[in-house]
Amino acid sequence: MTAIAYEYDAEIEALRDGLGVFIRNVVIPLHVKHADVFEDERRKYRPDGGYSDELLGLMREVRMKSAEAGYYTMCVPEHMGGAGLGHVAYFAAWEKIFHSCGAKYFLTSSIVAHWARGPSAVLEHLSPRLKSEILPGIQLGDKTICFALSEPGAGSDASQIKTSARRDTGGWRINGEKIWVTNSPYADYAIVFAVTDPELAAARKGGITGFVVPTDTEGFKVERLIKMFGQTHTDEALLHFNDVYVADDQVLGEVGQGFKTAMRGSGLGRIYNVARCVGMGRWALEIAFDYIKVRKTFGKTLAERQGVTFPLVESATQIHAAHLMSLNVAQLLDKGQSAAKELAMVKAYCGEVGPRALDRVIQFHGAMGFTNEMQLFEAYISMRKIGMADGSVEIMRHLAARKMLEGDMDL
């Protein structure tokens, strides 16, 4: 029995079923075959905390097999070589992946192209040369990208970036720093945003341009890896640009209009994050309800104690609400509406109810909830990112409030 009245169309249902088969037939067997890598951090990660060549090779293998099967580029526009599916499909796919596996199988993150690591509409305005030279490898999953927008002094207020690009013969010279750049230690290309017109940028009227920078370009440097959450590994880094030269045809889109491209990526990221909340929340709650039926304390199962069941039901209610809100906003986006208020609302909501659900599931498992075997704490870390990645909870509320103050009061 389904709890959602909305029904995916036949194409998306087939897609979700196919993803389940791909996980069972490709991803899980790779984890079993290479268990020695996944269970030994000295083989999974380099001494500096970066991903090992073995792990990167397995991620690449999943990307390329998924691309061959048609899943990796399913939401990439058709004129770019993808299937052209929309936001509902993007949500449906990631929700299926997270619901099926939670935090258990690391390689599932490589099945569908994430906008900040792989092909998406963000790359729609590549120059003809770059479309022929680099896009095929990215589409096949052989190559990856990173998205370099945030800086040490410009996070939520990305319009305040200081990285600059000045005109040089036939191109530009980029100087500056970027931080919190996911996948940057391993990417083949970086999408870098820099100020090209300081006056327009200061007035928030443009003046920021996107550039495509091969990561082996002279002057491009991964300054240091940034470890987070108390973990020994990372895919985040601080980047430094020292007179990095890019040709005119490495501009992404129009000069001075890079911020629009950057925000397009953030919108896709917000759909990814609400799908993560719903899918991983369902996965964790299902584990919890199975557990409380059998775990006994003082002669009774935990399922007989309202102090346990009521908080879990509250979280289930919130995940259900997030599910409905997410499907609604994905449909609005696919109809061509901006849905800025609605997307901000559900992103903010997921950023709070997702981590709370995982915290409760961990709590009612006792010490077992903290074990590596359960992977619940890994799931909690993943959920906690939702409140920050692609726009913090506070920024999402600010965006929603601004839209409502402008007169958008439709609820």
**Domain range summary for the chain, segments of one domain joined by +:** 10-123, 143-252, 260-405
SS3 per residue for 352-396: HHHHHHHHHHHHHCHHHHHCCCCCHHHHHHHHHHCCCCCCCHHHH
Whole-number pLDDT of residue 86 = 95
Mean pLDDT of 262-273: 88
Residue pointed to by tokens 């002094």: 153
Whole-number pLDDT of residue 158 = 78
Tell me how long the chain is.
411
Pairing of strands 189-195, 145-148: parallel
- Fold exhibited by the domain 143-252: Butyryl-CoA Dehydrogenase, subunit A; domain 2 (2.40.110)
Tell me the average pLDDT of the chain: 96
Contact 364, 308 (CB under 8 A): yes
Which band of pLDDT confidence, cut at 50, 70 and 90, is reported for residue 155?
Answer: confident
> Tell me: the pLDDT tens digits for 383-411?
999 999 999 999 999 999 999 999 999 99
Whole-number pLDDT of residue 128 = 96
Which band of pLDDT confidence, cut at 50, 70 and 90, is reported for residue 313?
Answer: very high
Q: Higher-confidence residue: 30 or 265?
A: 30
Mean pLDDT of 174-190: 97
Contact 97, 86 (CB under 8 A): no
Alpha-carbon distance of 54 to 50, in angstroms, equals 11
Whole-number pLDDT of residue 263 = 79
For 233, list phi and psi in degrees, rounded to 5.
-130, 170
Whole-number pLDDT of residue 261 = 84
User: 28: which 2 tokens?
Assistant: 């899980």
Alpha-carbon distance of 185 to 203, in angstroms, equals 33
Alpha-carbon distance of 174 to 259, in angstroms, equals 17
Q: pTM value?
A: 0.95
Name 405's Cβ contacts closer than 8 Å, sequence gap at least 6: none
Which band of pLDDT confidence, cut at 50, 70 and 90, is reported for residue 330?
Answer: very high
For 254, list phi and psi in degrees, rounded to 5.
-95, 145
> Tell me: the pLDDT tens digits for 45-65?
999 999 999 999 999 999 999
Whole-number pLDDT of residue 264 = 79
- Fold exhibited by the domain 10-123: Butyryl-Coa Dehydrogenase, subunit A; domain 1 (1.10.540)
Which band of pLDDT confidence, cut at 50, 70 and 90, is reported for residue 234?
Answer: very high
DSSP state of 66: H
Which band of pLDDT confidence, cut at 50, 70 and 90, is reported for residue 154?
Answer: confident
User: 145: which 2 tokens?
Assistant: 């990208």
pLDDT higher than threshold 80 for residue 1: no
Alpha-carbon distance of 134 to 132, in angstroms, equals 6
User: 307: which 2 tokens?
Assistant: 């102090």
Whole-number pLDDT of residue 280 = 98
Mean pLDDT of 23-32: 98
Contact 47, 227 (CB under 8 A): no
User: 282: which 2 tokens?
Assistant: 């369902």
Supply the CATH classification number for the domain 260-405.
1.20.140.10
For 185, list phi and psi in degrees, rounded to 5.
-65, -15
Give percent of the chain above pLDDT 90.
93
Q: Indicate the residue type of 396.
A: M
Of 79, 390, 169, give the one whose Cα is nearest residue 263: 390
User: 221: which 2 tokens?
Assistant: 């440097």
